[in-house]
Structure 1
Amino acid sequence: MRETPHPVLDDFPFRTHEKLRYGDTDRQGHVNNAVFATFFETARVDMLMAGDVDLKGETGAFVLARLAIDYVREIHWPGEVEIGTRILAVGRSSLRLEHAVFDNGVYAARGEDVTVLTDTATRKSKPFSDEARAWLEAWLQKI
């Protein structure tokens, strides 16, 4: 099996950071695995709110349909992590995103998620507007 090189922060056009909290740690003394889902949530929401385009419209809401996480190394408190995010695919009403967590510049974890735009009244998927699709596709990463 061919090894895939670890990503670097520069691979990700969207970046955010999170301060580690003492309460993020578990009995093993490292940041608990569940906290990584929160890191990715912060990054995802920051990215979706970053542009001057309203991606969801008045009757839209984003929901998480899938989340997969690969843990590469432990992270310890105190400190701050950087989270990089990139768009891998844009569907009719969904996005596939990749995230990576970096602790002092060192790759620590990656996540991939599928986020779906839904209609708040029907709770069913809702297609992206042409303006939203154009904004999202401009950030689409070819890897």
Structure 2
Amino acid sequence: MHDNEIRIDDFPGRALDKIRYGDTDRQGHVNNAVFASFLETGRVELLHLGQHPVADDGCSFVIAHLGVDFLAEIIWPGEVVIGTRVTKVGSSSIRLTQALFQRDTCNATAETVIVHVDQETKRSRHLSSEAVDYLTGLMGSLDRRSPTR
């Protein structure tokens, strides 16, 4: 499968972000560091803005891994659509696959591992059974290869 076969329909979580002029670099396209901010928007909307709180009271999420494959430029002006899918739920960690789209082009794919951490002890804490059920429902299924390379 080629990366251009990745579609937003492959992702149950969807978010939208506006591309700002200040996001561009000297070459006139969106700076690669801004890609991480777009990915954050997708994670936040999936984990914090839904009707299903994922983090327990007194807990938060920290990133343990973020890997990004840059596939195409993102150009100002416009917007980017962020697709997010849960690919694995551990006892205290979540693996996400994400993709950034401008128009119908997949511009980047990413894999992120986040850990549920107790804010007081700074140690990982097990996800609640409700959170696991919610996250498992966001795994979706693909008949094709996962969009991360």
Do Structure 1 and Structure 2 share a fold, with TM-score over 0.5? yes
Unaligned runs of 5+ residues in structure 2 are 143-149
The corresponding residue for 1:76 is 75
Deviation at residue 74 of structure 1 after TM alignment:
0.7
Amino acid at match of 1:17: L
**Distance in 2 between the 1:83 and 1:101 partners?**
5
**Paired residues of 1:88 and 1:142 also in contact (CA < 8 A):** no
**Paired residues of 1:102 and 1:108 also in contact (CA < 8 A):** yes
Deviation at residue 9 of structure 1 after TM alignment:
0.5
**Paired residues of 1:63 and 1:118 also in contact (CA < 8 A):** yes
Q: Which moved more, 1:92-101 or 1:130-139?
A: 130-139
**Distance in 1 between the 2:2 and 2:24 partners?**
29
**Paired residues of 2:42 and 2:84 also in contact (CA < 8 A):** yes
Work out the number of aligned pairs and report it.
141
CA deviations on 1:65-104 (whole Å, 9 max, x unpaired) are 1100001111111111101000000000010001101111
After superposing on structure 2, the runs of 4+ consecutive aligned residues of structure 1 that deviate more than 6 Å are none
Identity of aligned residues (%): 46
| Aligned ranges 1:15-94 → 2 under 5 Å | 15-94=14-93
Normalising by structure 2, what TM-score? 0.90
Deviation at residue 49 of structure 1 after TM alignment:
2.0
Unaligned runs of 5+ residues in structure 1 are none
